Structure 1
């Protein structure tokens, strides 16, 4: 009996777009996916953003938000934004789910 391991796709490479308005990720399936900076900022699950949502203080939009820095933590990316927010950690499976994968 031959066993075949199923491996879920993951992020293998990433970069901010030239205009800093989106994150472009490449997957193990060699797909290139794009996530807008606004979508990422709205999807932040850090304690600060979670509390702001709970208190009704989280904005509905982040127009003209830009990605200012990306840190690779191995299991995910720490993304900093032009509004000064830099607490969000986006696990690689979460990024793929945001991109509809």
Structure 2
């Protein structure tokens, strides 16, 4: 039987908005802290800020304020006003796997 990559079946922000909770079609559940998501944004603005060496090293207290499903990925908005990042679902799962190695 061929190995299949897990697929995102459902997602939500935690009650305190500090974590993205992700469930896969295979029944696994993962979590990714909002700060890790914000630090992992690959939008043009954040990429440029990294290139210019002015991207913050931390986002303490950052919260998820909105999640938009684009089919192939999630557009996540944060409490600092940033809302340009699109997180492809395989990328989200890779971020989640790094934080949840036993899952």
Structure showing greater Rg = 1
TM-score for both structures, normalised by structure 2 = 0.91
Superposition RMSD in Å: 1.0
Q: Which residue matches 1:84?
A: 81
Q: Secondary structure at the match of 2:49?
A: helix
How far did 1:6 drift? Answer: 3.4
1:5 Cα deviation from its structure 2 partner = 4.3
Unpaired stretches in structure 2, ≥5 consecutive residues: 99-103
Q: For 1:6-45, list aligned pairs within 5 A.
A: 6-45=3-42
Query: d(CA) in 1 for partners of 2:49 and 2:7?
Result: 30
Query: The residue matched to 1:59 in structure 2 has which SS?
Result: coil
SS in 2 for 1:18: coil
Moved beyond 6 Å, runs of 4+: none
Once residues 31 and 18 of structure 2 are traced to their aligned partners in structure 1, the CA distance between those partners, rounded to angstroms, is 10
Question: Is it true that 1:69 corresponds to 2:66 in the alignment?
Answer: yes
Q: Which residue of 2 aligns with 1:58?
A: 55
SS in 1 for 2:11: strand
